[in-house]
Amino acid sequence: MSVGIDIGRSGVKIVSKGGTLPIIPAIACPAVSIDDREEALRVSRETVVVDGSPWMYGSAAAIHSGSEPGIYAGFEQTVEYEVLIAGALKTCIQNGIAINKVVAGVPSEAGQDVKDLVAGLFRKHGVESIRVIAQPAGALIAAAQVHPELVAEGSSTAIVDVGRYSTDIALSQNGRPVLGAYASVPGVRLAVDVLASSLRGKITGTASFEVLETALRTGKLVYAMKEIHCTAEIAAAKERLSADIKRTLQTLITRQRGNIQAVVLAGGGAELITLDVPVIVAAGRHAVARGFALLAEGL
């Protein structure tokens, strides 16, 4: 079966012809011994072996390690990333998905060496037919299922994929990527950092990334079982993220002499930003993986 796998900094999204699977938290850590028999069984379902060592991933890693997803450069070159690949493939098998073709993605700024590395990791874990492309391409393909004009002859489209670590902005003409016409700026982590800085003096200690990201999404910060009034700080953090993205998008549009007919907005952080232009939303956190799955059918 053809499968699209989008390994982001917050979660692993998987789409096949059978539909979407629940998002797997993008967390991995060395396996630990679990005394409780029932919990040990649950953890075993989210445990893989990489180079002879057992690793937990997903909810098991989140619960028993206290770790958060990796918010740093070079994530694709870590053992944790390989664990998430192995975990994604195991999850497919557990859900009755017989994998024969996979399309996966990396950030636009990743070079061919990184794409080859990721493809090699999938092959190492049993996938023979694998293609690795830039993540914004998946968003474009998904949006084009509803708006085919986005990839038609003569089309010129900008794709803004707002992720947790980075925001990828890329240009496409006739449904094809424009060489060198891409940029990567900070993603949701920027708004989280801005919010964290603005809360110094308002809270004791440091709120976790997850708590601050939830505040950005809901407009309410709950910390140490108390609601902290910080509506203005949340709005300012989101505006800072939007401003960086708008500035970079405008630079790319100017490079194309203003010849952009549509902007596709995608990614888990899409709801946090506002742009000064009309957008077509590639809805849902599975949008990129959905586009990958459509591409995989043609491998």
CB 168 within 8 A of CB 135: yes
pLDDT by 10s per residue, the chain, length 299: 999 999 998 899 999 988 999 999 999 999 999 999 999 999 999 999 999 999 999 999 999 987 777 666 788 999 999 999 999 999 999 999 999 999 999 988 888 999 999 999 999 999 999 999 999 999 999 999 999 999 999 999 999 999 988 899 999 999 998 888 899 999 999 999 999 999 998 899 889 998 999 999 999 999 999 999 999 999 999 999 999 999 999 999 898 787 899 999 999 999 999 998 999 999 788 999 999 999 999 88
CB 103 within 8 A of CB 133: yes
Q: Are strands 19-20 and 28-30 parallel, antiparallel or unpaired?
A: unpaired
Q: Is 238 helix (H, G, I), strand (E, B) or coil?
A: helix
**Quick one: which of 134, 84, 85, 96 has its CA closest to 19?**
96
Could you please state the CATH topology (level 3) that the domain comprising 2-138+287-296 is classified under: Nucleotidyltransferase; domain 5 (3.30.420)
- Cα–Cα distance measured from residue 170 to residue 179, given in angstroms and rounded to the nearest whole number: 10
User: How long, in residues, is the chain?
Assistant: 299
How big is the CA angle at 252 (ends 247 and 253), to the nearest 5 degrees? 95
**Quick one: which of 92, 107, 102 has its CA closest to 122?**
102
pLDDT at 201: 86
- Cα–Cα distance measured from residue 139 to residue 285, given in angstroms and rounded to the nearest whole number: 10
CA dist list (Å): 220 to 216, 217, 287? 7, 8, 27
Alpha carbons within 13 angstroms on the beta-carbon side of residue 113 total 2
**Integer distance in angstroms from the first to the last C-alpha of the chain?**
11
- Cα–Cα distance measured from residue 215 to residue 71, given in angstroms and rounded to the nearest whole number: 18
- Cα–Cα distance measured from residue 16 to residue 137, given in angstroms and rounded to the nearest whole number: 17
pLDDT at 102: 98
- 89 burial type by CB count under 10 A (0-12 exposed, 13-18 middle, 19+ buried): buried
Show the tokens assigned to 266: 């995608």
Query: Which residues are CB-neighbours of 209 under 8 A, at least 6 positions away?
Result: 68, 71, 189, 192
pLDDT at 63: 93
Query: Which residues are CB-neighbours of 17 under 8 A, at least 6 positions away?
Result: 1, 2, 293, 297
pLDDT at 71: 61
